[in-house]
Structures are given as structure tokens and as C-alpha cells.
Structure 1
Amino acid sequence: MAVNTLIFGGSGKCARHITRLLAAEGHTVHSIIRNPDQKSDIESLGGKPIVQSIEEASVEDLAKTITQSKATTVLWCAGAGGGNPERTKAVDNEGAIRSMDATAQAGVKRYIIISAIDVRDRSNKPEPEWYDDNDRQRSEKVWGFIGPYMQAKFAADRNLVTENERRGLEFTIVRPGGLTNEPGKGTIAAGKVHLDAMISREDVAKMVVECIKNDSTKGLAIDCVGGDTPIADAVAQVAKGRIDSFAGRY
């Protein structure tokens, strides 16, 4: 079934892979970008670029864009990169939350957000029970290095889950581990995974596309890292087991 997808943060590396993959399957992909110079790049991937500033646009502005695109699925792939804490908060936290409200306001149900593995309340909630010493060390290292980014992601994800009675979105949170620009392998590990395996952005994109296709992923936060299981199978296994890596950690 053809889907009409709107991507927030369309110029990002994962988003470009998603655009290419969906367009190649005959789907319509609208891609929100900030820089008009990127329009030809998006068009070359098969997407339809929309120039709009996520940081400056209101909920109403974003809802209007979603409505005009006739999107049936909204993807949040935007990110400030974690360099500037203020901009990270403006995009990864506040911008993401506005996109959730806008999606609901536009009457669209399906919403998928790319977050990050190990995003959680580290102060007040228990760590995942499958973590080992290597996971703890990596968690400490990542939160110490890009804490504002992880905190912004956490605030957005928590808002998505805790405010959903009001919004009524059919959401999925995709939580990849460390990212590489290597070509995708088409295989991953998903669910209760360790933090040390990297994953290519192309495989993250393939996983997002698989989540669009698999309705059983609705309501789940799914961790994914590099692994040996074909992506469709890995997603199906997590969906069947209702393995939610964020539950109980916010």
C-alpha cells in the first residue's frame, strides 16, 4: 500500500536514506528542509522538498504543512547535532514536541520519531536489566559527552508517551545505537540489545521503513544496533513480543 510520508529534518543523513527507499517503492515523500539550496538534493532522491524552519514555525504552521502535503505518516528525523545545547533543546526537544502536536492537530495518526538508544531517566528509574558493565561504562561516557542531546531526546520521548492520551497518535520510537555512514548490511539486532555495536544510518532508515509497514510496532520504543538478523524479521520479533525499551524508564 502506498503511503504519503512527511519527513521533518529531511536533509539529515538518515532522512535522505528514508526518502530514497520510500520513493523507490513508489511512495510519496515530502521532506521539510531549512536551506533552499538543498532542494535539488532532495528531488534527486525522489522527494518533494518543502522549505520551512522547524525552530521558527508554530504548531499551527507545521499542522498546515502536514495538511497541505496530505501526509498519512509523519516522521521526525530532525536533530541539531548536540553541539549547541540551546539549539539542541530548541530542535530535539521543543521542535519535536511541536511536531507531535501539529501531527495530532492535522488529524494524522501515524508518527515515528528517531531517538537514541539509552535515552531514559537515569536519576530516578532503574537501568535496563540486561545491561552489563560494558553497557554501564558506555552509558556514562555518552551521557557525559552529549548529555544535553540525550536530555532533549528524553524530554521529547517522555512527552510523546505521557501526553498521548490527549494526542491519540499511533507512534513508534526508533532508538538506534552509535551511527556510522557505512553501507547498510540489511541486518540488525533489536529489542533488548547492548550498547557497543554500531549501526549504519542506512540500516536505521531501512528499519524506519519497516516500522511504517508493520502496524504491530505502534506504541513501542525499539532499540536497534548492528547485528545479524534481517531487519524485517528483527522488527517483527520485537513487535510480536511487545518489547518496549523505554517502558518503566521515564
Structure 2
Amino acid sequence: MVLNIVIIGGHGKVSSAHDLLDLSDYMQVALHLARLAAGAGHSVTSVIRDPSQNEDITATGAKPRVLSLEDSPVSDFTNLFTETKAEVVYFTAGAGGKGGEERTKAVDYRGALKTFDAIDGVSGKKPRLVLVSGVDVGNEDRFPEHYTEEDKQIALRVRKAIAVWYKWKYEAEKVLVKRTSFEWIILRPGGLTDNSGTGKADIGRTHITSTISREDVAAALLHLATVPSKAAGLAIDMVGGDKPIGPALDAFVEKGVTDWLGQA
């Protein structure tokens, strides 16, 4: 099945909590995703804010489109989704810890809401949204029951170190979980690396001591384009592990139990 896919944040770095602690400049999940999706025969449009990034996008097999999450109106994104007949929209954008809290709020929160509203504005069947967030977002002062003491210590350290990032990712998730007019899924990877993908991971109810490669996150994102509608409304945690990604995602979706512990 060939899909029409739009990636919001097609060149921007997808940051995890671990990245923001050291501000490393890693290869982007979005570029890996575009390359995988285009290679599988899907029609991919990647939204970027800087025309100088066009060459990087076309090299993946995707078509670039210049729009600004901060400055372009909601209607421009609705028009894009309509024009491309988008069936899946990925939100991979993020400020990456740059520009202070106001820019993080502008991109990670208001940019996400702009995307939600743009999908709402599509007439007829609306595209599925896959939002990239981060493991442990929304847990605030609580811990999932499966966390070990090591997990808890890591969570406390990271929550304190990048409180602004957690705040606005969580605020975006809180808005999304109330939306019912379109299908949505939240993928929440742990610490990201530029290691080659293994095709394996731990999915759902994960610990947070393991990192995951950006290539493997991209593979999971592409798989989520075609999982059954039963996946709608799920938040899915993902870290490095030893289970094949596709079957592990399918098994988690079949259980129908979300990893989201926040309060909308």
C-alpha cells in the first residue's frame, strides 16, 4: 500500500532528553524516516523552514516544502495536507533546547497545536498523526509501576535538568489526548544515538536506562503508518532492546494499553 506522507520538521533534529543534556548534533530522525518511507515507495513531503535544506530533503527521495511552524498560519498546513492528500502526518519538529523557553514553547507546543488544528481543518477523511515525544514525559512527580530505582534516579535527574522541554512536550500531549476528530499515536523514544539501527527495541512499559538509535526510531515511525486503527490514542514508549520492532509494536497495539500517565 502506497501512502501519502507529510513530515513536519523534515530537517530539524529530533531531540531526546539525553540529547538536550549535552546538546549533541546528531543525524535527524526525520531524514531517516523520509529515506525509509520514500525507499518503500511512499510519496513523502518534508516540511522545512529554510530553503537551504532542500538538497538534503531531495537526497532522501522526499519533496521539500517550505513552511514555518512559528510564522505560517494553520490554513497553510491544512492546504498542504489537502493538496498532498496526506494519509499520515508525522510531527518530528522541536526547538532542540535552542532559543530559550519561548522558542521551545513556540515550536514544541504551539507548533504541535498548529499541526493538530490543521488536521482538524481537513475536509473529509483526516490523516493519522504520529507525534514524536519522549519517554517519561507527563509522569511529573510520579513513576510508572515498572520503574526500577535506577530508572527513577535517571528520571529525576533528567526532569530537573531539562524541565522546560518536559513542560512543553507534556502540554502538547495534554492537548492531543483530548482530540477525537482524527487518529493519533504518540511515540516516546528514550535517549537517542547515531548508531546504526539494529531493527530491534523494547516497546511499551520500558525501562529508561537503554538508548535507541535514530534509525530504529525511524523504522518504528514508518511501521506506525500502517498499524490498525486500534492503535489510535496510544502513547508508546521505546528504548533499545532485543525484540524485532514491527512485531513488538504490533503486540503492544494488540494489548491496547497506553504508556501515557498524564492528566489531560
Shift of 1:243: 2.6
Shift of 1:109: 3.4
Q: 1:159 aligns with which of 175, 184, 191?
A: 175
TM-score by structure 2 length? 0.90
Structure 1 stretches of 4+ moved >4 Å: 247-250
Indicate the residue corresponding to 1:65 in structure 2: 80
- 1:10 partner SS: coil
Shift of 1:65: 1.8
- 1:46 partner SS: coil
Q: Which runs of 5+ in 1 are unaligned?
A: none
Residue type of the alignment partner of 2:3: V
Give the total of aligned pairs. Answer: 245
TM-score by structure 1 length? 0.94
Residue 101 (str. 1) matches residue 117 (str. 2): yes
CA distance in 1 between partners of 2:75 and 2:226 (Å): 28
Deviations 1:131-167 (A, max 9, x none): 11111111111111111111111000110002x13xx
Q: 2:249 aligns with which of 217, 223, 235?
A: 235
CA contact (8 A) 1:119 1:153 kept: yes
| Superposition map of 1:84-95 within 5 A | 84-95=100-111
- 1:38 partner SS: helix
Residue range with higher mean Cα deviation, 140-149 or 199-208: 140-149
CA distance in 1 between partners of 2:149 and 2:139 (Å): 18
Deviations 1:62-100 (A, max 9, x none): 211221222111110101002321111100011101101
RMSD: 1.2
Shift of 1:248: 5.3
Q: Which runs of 5+ in 2 are unaligned?
A: 13-27
CA distance in 1 between partners of 2:224 and 2:32 (Å): 15
CA 1:187 to 1:121, structure 2 compared with 1: closer, same or farther past 3 Å?
closer
Residue type of the alignment partner of 1:5: I
Residue type of the alignment partner of 1:173: I
CA distance in 1 between partners of 2:139 and 2:201 (Å): 25
Residue type of the alignment partner of 2:244: P
Indicate the residue corresponding to 2:57 in structure 1: 42
Deviations 1:11-68 (A, max 9, x none): 0311101100010010000000011011011111000000111111121222112212
CA 1:121 to 1:228, structure 2 compared with 1: closer, same or farther past 3 Å?
closer
Residue 198 (str. 1) matches residue 216 (str. 2): no
Residue type of the alignment partner of 1:239: V
